[in-house]
Amino acid sequence: MHRISNPTDLAVICRQIRRHIITMTGAAKSGHPGGSLSAVEVLVTLYWDVLRHDPSNPKWPLRDRFILSKGHAAPVLYAVMAECGYTPVESLNTLRKLGSIYQGHPDIRYIPALEASTGSLGEGLSLALGMGLAARLDRSPSRTYVMLGDGEIQEGQIWEAAMFGSFNKVDNVCAIVDYNKLQLDGAVKDILELEPLAAKWRAFGWHTLQIDGHDIPAVQSALSEAAATKGKPTCIIAHTVKGKGVSFMEGDPKWHGVTPNPEEVELALKELA
Amino acid sequence: MPANTKYELKLGAATREAFGKTLAELGRENPNIVVGDADLTKSTMTTFFAKEFPDRLFECGIAEANMVAIGAGLAMAGKIPFVSSFSAFVMTKGFEQLRCLVAYPNVNLKVVGTHSGISIGEDGPSQMSMEDLALACALPNFTVLCPADEVSTKWAVRWAAAHQGPVFIRTGRPKAPAIYQSAAQFEIGKAVELVPGADVTLVATGLLVAEAIKASDLLAAEGISARVLDIHTIKPLDEEALARAARETGALVVAEEHLVDSGLGVRVAQALARTVPAPVEFVGLTRFAESGSPDQLLDLYGLRAPDLVAAARKVIARKK
Ligand SMILES: Cc1ncc(C[n+]2csc(CCOP(=O)(O)OP(=O)(O)O)c2C)c(N)n1
Ligand SMILES: [Mg+2]
């Protein structure tokens, strides 16, 4: 795909993706806007500037892969894939409707260009490591990126996978934690605190970086540092704001799984004009 | 529709809501009741309990296996723990822990799966449990309940709290048609005959009980007299009521919001094979579903009264 690296240009795409997220979830009347909005800069930077991929040849064997382990944030992935040309933009608003390719959670049966069907949290890191191992066996340059929710990494399987990844030096895998500090029931720190998070990933043997996940140049340099790091996998802890970009959604746990009504859609789109 | 039954089937509370509210009542009555949840209190409705008894609600985060194991520990230390999450998660992610830490040592843990079946709608297959009854029934020592409406759910939750031993209760997301009056009495392991009938028996559980009642009305209009049994207890199964139904009506249809290959249907067939063999047809799920509204999915995946009617005609034709 034609690469876009200029942060100003990427920011324009981010705004368009956010508009899609609002209209899609507004039309669906169910779904997860908050955790979609917090992930926009990371996904846009990945898909437009970092991943080696070809929307006209989705199964290109040497491609880089992306797994949205926090599958409930499907709207951001759908909007990004549609804008890349994998799937139609016009039907984004059929999200969650019967027969739509835009299923409630990413479903590879409906969109074969997806790398995984996700939705049960805690599973994506292990999948990514399997893909990374396969690429290593094949001597393929393919890298695998996986986005995890901060609440999601409470799952024990994540830490089983974390141990495995460093022990096996799966350095073609990069995990990105969307550290938006909120999960479904409320604040991560009130439910099951993760801190000291960077120290944990380091203790598990991962090259660990912390960045502002909405700062595009910071995302770019973290992803290139990950690609340059050999001998261990990288974890990028992306500090983000749940609901980012829509003032009344930012930092409010309500917007995890509540969608905007028509007036709220209009307000949000005004802010994202 | 020419209704021959006395059931209005007005939409009542969801069975998960009945669970949450009953749990809060139990909390007031018994300080030993404690609850574990995996970041879904608002969905499982343990939030009612959480509001009143924050010190007895253990929020485990998104870690179902850990939650089950913690619940087992609480039970072994004398508490009466209820742990809850979507059925799809607690029964699959917690299965090894349920097997080794709960079923094997016969620990007094209550597991409540919510959002069972495809009637959760838009979230799609990853969140839809179709195999939870199979998994629960595969655990020795477990009693397995699948109530159909608010009143029977209240009973099930109260029964579980009073019972010494592991229990799994299956509940659903959507509002459920009300079947029982509040004074209704239930007995563990005893099916309820909701509609009498002589030509065929519709054996149903959970959300499909209301569909079976509707189907019996549709069949009555064709001159077919269909008995309806509510199997609120999947294990132990009421073999006696099933054998009687086989003897008296000669044919059965089993209906469930679960995989037909591993749920109530196979258990009924097993029971009849060792009592009164009879032809049986099965209404249930055979594949992963998709996103859609609950009503659309129930139609599309064949879990409606007309599907039971078709199965009834087919099974009656097989009678000797
Ligand atoms: C195994 C599992 N348990 C529970 C859920 C229900 N669930 C969906 S999203 C969510 C909260 C996720 O929080 P987080 O990972 O922080 O995601 P984000 O804040 O990015 O939306 C929960 C509990 C699930 N999908 N999978
Ligand atoms: Mg979060």
Q: What ipTM did this prediction achieve?
A: 0.81
Q: Which residues contact B197 (CB under 8 A, 6 or more apart)?
A: B216, B225, B226, B227, B228, B249
From the list A245, A251, A253, the residue with the least C-alpha distance to A269 is A245
In the predicted structure, residue B4 carries a pLDDT above the cut 80: no
**B27 and B132 co-located in one domain:** yes
A246-269 tens-digit pLDDT:
999 999 999 999 999 999 999 999
Q: Give the full edge-to-edge strand order of the sheet including A173-179.
A: A65-68, A144-149, A173-179, A234-239, A207-212
User: Is residue A173 within 8 Å of residue A257, measured between CB atoms?
Assistant: no
Domain boundaries, chain A: 7-271
Q: Give pLDDT tens digits for A30-69.
A: 999 999 999 999 999 999 999 999 999 999 999 999 999 9
Residues of A within 8 A of B94 (CB-CB) are none
- Would you say A46 and A227 are in contact if contact means Cβ atoms under 8 Å apart? no
Per CATH, the number for A7-271 is 3.40.50.970
Length of chain A: 273
Total structural domains in chain B? 2
Task: Check CB contact of A156 with chain B, cutoff 8 Å.
Answer: yes
State which of B120, B142, B177 marks the end of a domain.
Answer: B177
Q: In angstroms, what separates the C-alpha of B139 from chain A's closest C-alpha?
A: 23
Burial A227-265 (b: 16+ CB within 10 A, else e): beeeebbbbbbbbbbbbbbbeebbbebebbbbbbeeebb
At B220, the amino acid letter reads: A
Which residue blocks in chain A are alpha helix, DSSP H? 7-28, 34-37, 40-45, 74-84, 124-137, 156-167, 188-191, 197-203, 216-228, 262-271
DSSP per-residue letters across B266-285: HHHHHHHHTS----EEEEEE
Same domain, B97 and B145: yes
Is B64 annotated in the active site?
A: yes
Rounded mean pLDDT, B180-187: 96
Q: Which two tokens stand for residue B127?
A: 């969140």
> Cα angle vertex B26, ends B23, B27, to 5°?
85
What pLDDT does A236 receive? 98
Q: What pLDDT score does B235 carry?
A: 98
pLDDT band at A119 (very low <50, low <70, confident <90, very high): very high
pTM given for the model: 0.90
- How far is residue B233 CA from its own chain's centroid? 8
Confidence (pLDDT) at B1? 43
Range of the domain at B158: 12-177
Residue B3 above 80 pLDDT? Answer: no
Asked if the structure places residue B155 within a domain, the reply is yes
Here the tokens at position A141 are 């340059």
Q: How far apart are the first and last CA of chain A?
A: 26
Residue B203 has pLDDT above 50, yes or no: yes
Lowest mean pLDDT among A192-196, B97-101, B111-115, B275-279: B97-101
Single out the residue of B173, B177, B181 nearest to residue B204, CA to CA. B177
Q: What residue's CA is closest to ligand 1, atom 12?
A: A183
Does residue B19 sit in the same domain as residue B45? yes
**Chain-centre distance for alpha carbon B226:** 22
**CATH number, residue B132:** 3.40.50.970
pLDDT for B272 equals: 98
The strand pair at A65-68 and A144-149 is best described as parallel
Ligand 1 atom, smallest distance to A119 CA? 25
Q: Residue A177 belongs to what H/E stretch?
A: strand A173-179
Q: List b or e across A94-130, with b for residues whose CB sees 16 or more CB atoms inside 10 angstroms.
A: bbbbbebbbbbbbbeebbebbbbbbbbbbbbbbbbbe
**Which residue in chain B is spatially nearest to A194 when comparing CA positions?**
B61
Pairwise CB contact (< 8 Å): B123 & A104: yes
Question: Which ranges of A85-196 does DSSP label H, i.e. alpha helix?
Answer: 124-137, 156-167, 188-191
Indicate if the pLDDT at residue B288 is higher than 50. Answer: yes
In a domain, B7, yes or no: no
B129 → chain A, closest CA residue: A120
The answer to whether B119 and B173 have CB atoms below 8 angstroms apart is: yes
Say if B170 is an interface residue toward chain A (CB within 8 Å): no
Say if residue B48 is in the same domain as residue B157. Answer: yes
Q: Work out the mean pLDDT of chain B and round it to a whole number.
A: 96
* Cβ(A212)–Cβ(A237) below 8 Å: no
CATH code, B229: 3.40.50.920
Q: How confident is the model at residue A135 (pLDDT cuts 50, 70, 90)?
A: very high
Instruction: Give the other-Cβ count within 10 Å of B261's Cβ.
Output: 14
CB proximity list for A94: less than 8 A, separation 6 or greater: A27, A100, A101, A102
Active-site choice (B64, B131, B211, B257): B64
Instruction: Give the residue among A101, A111, A86 at the shortest CA–CA distance from A1.
Output: A86
CB A234 within 8 A of CB A206: yes
Mean pLDDT of A114-141: 93
The whole-number pLDDT of residue A88 equals: 98
What tens digit of pLDDT does each residue of A144-198 get? 999 999 999 999 999 999 999 999 999 999 999 999 999 999 999 999 999 999 9
Q: Which of A192, A197, A254, A259 to mutate to test the interface with B (most CBs of B within 10 A)?
A: A192
Of B154, B177, B200, which residue constitutes the final position of a domain? B177
Q: Which of B39, B45, B97, B299 to mutate to test the interface with A (most CBs of A within 10 A)?
A: B39
- Per-residue model confidence (pLDDT) at position B2: 43
Q: What is the predicted pLDDT for the residue at B23? A: 98
Chain B CB contacts of A185 below 8 Å? 37, 39-42, 59
Residue range B74-98: mean pLDDT, rounded: 95
Residues B170 and B217 in one domain: no
Ligand 1 centroid to residue A184 C-alpha, Å: 6
**Among B277, B288, B283, B262, which residue's Cα sits nearest to residue B318?**
B277
% of chain B surpassing 90 pLDDT: 96
Task: Examine the domain organization and report whether B90 and B205 are in the same domain.
Answer: no
As a whole number of angstroms, the distance between CA A54 and CA B154 comes to 55
- Residue A36: nearest ligand to its CA? 1
Same domain for B117 and B215?
no
Q: Do B123 and A152 touch (CB under 8 A)?
A: no
> What percent of chain A is predicted at pLDDT more than 90?
99
The arrangement of strands across the sheet holding B233-235 comes to B57-59, B33-37, B80-86, B110-114, B167-170, B143-145, B233-235
- Per CB-CB distance under 8 Å, the chain A contacts of B290 are 98-99, 103, 107, 110
User: Which pLDDT tens digit goes with each residue over B157-173?
Assistant: 999 999 999 999 999 99
Rounded to a whole number of angstroms, the distance from the CA of A84 to the nearest CA of chain B is 24
Enumerate the H helices of A85-187 as residue ranges: 124-137, 156-167
Distances (CA, A) of B174 to B118, B148, B169: 10, 11, 16
A151 vs B: CB within 8 A:
yes
Task: Answer yes or no: do B241 and B313 share one domain.
Answer: yes
Q: What is the pLDDT of residues B23-41, one digit of tens each?
A: 999 999 999 999 999 999 9
Pocket lining for ligand 1, CB < 6 angstroms: A 32, 34-35, 38, 70, 72-73, 119-122, 149-152, 178, 180, 182-184, 242, 256; B 38-40, 62, 89
* Euclidean distance between CA atoms A2 and B169, whole angstroms: 53
